[in-house]
Amino acid sequence: MAKKQAEVASEQTVEQKLMSLFQLQEADSKIDEIKRLRGELPLEVKDLEDELAGLETRIAKIQDEITQKEKDIVTKKEEIKDAQEQVKRYEEQQMDVRNNREFDAIAKEIEFQKLNIELFEKRIREYTRDVENRKEQLETANAKHADRKLDLDAKETELNTIINETKAEEDHLKAESENISRAIDERLLNAYSRLRKNARNGVAVATVERDACGGCFNKIPPQRQLDIKSHKKIIVCEYCGRILVDKELAFGENAIAE
């Protein structure tokens, strides 16, 4: 493919190369204009998708935390039940003690279990408040997720409408651009691509407008304008580096129709 492309390009005159470059610029500029119609919508859609993904992660995390705290509450309630049973057994044992030393030892065990019960009850209150707070956070996160989902649906609908309205034209222009590119030698095509990438408006091939470069609007000396009109060599703007073509070549009968 590259070899065939080089052969076709080598057979072209400079004038034909300039015409191909300008036609390529025309097709690519029209593609750029179609993309500009979409404005910031693609970025807005991406940002909303990222935000929703973040919210979904947060919602899942909150739900896990609630589940864990609820399990902790159940565990503490079981521990309270065990401690209460221990207290009951110790109190029964106190009825059968033989001396004060045994009575005091059992009393300490009862006191220890009652302190445990108070601690477990405190933890249950803390966990319960934590669960309530987490549920409030979950409700807020779910509400925000629902709002952002509505925003995303609206933005996607708007973007898809624009894409569908311009798809046929964009596909045609892309095919046109690829077809023209095949007639341009690789070195020149790479230079064109670099210029387009670095140019703010994506214009790599500019026409001479009122004795000035149509890209950067700097004046072009008369002799240089004559060289441009002669189509004998490829001339670039000495200020911005864009490839220059004259209007007669650009908007002649071979130019892409508007």
pLDDT at 37: 83
Per-residue pLDDT tens over the stretch 234-257: 999 999 999 999 988 877 644 444
% residues pLDDT > 90 (the chain): 82
Q: What is the C-alpha separation between 251 and 258, in angstroms, rounded?
A: 10
Rg (Cα) of the chain, in Å, rounded? 39
Give, for all 258 residues of the chain, the pLDDT tens digit. 454 554 555 578 999 999 999 999 999 999 999 988 888 899 999 999 999 999 999 999 999 999 999 999 999 999 999 999 999 999 999 988 889 999 999 999 999 999 999 999 999 999 999 999 999 999 999 999 999 999 999 999 999 998 898 999 999 999 999 999 998 999 999 999 999 999 888 999 999 999 999 999 999 999 999 999 999 999 999 999 999 999 888 776 444 444
Measured CA to CA in angstroms, residue 8 lies from 11, 106, 211 at distances of 5, 104, 33
- State the number of CA atoms in the 13 A half-sphere of 71 facing the CB: 6
Q: What is the C-alpha separation between 187 and 193, in angstroms, rounded?
A: 10
Per-residue pLDDT tens over the stretch 19-51: 999 999 999 999 999 988 888 899 999 999 999
pLDDT at 252: 64
pLDDT at 258: 41
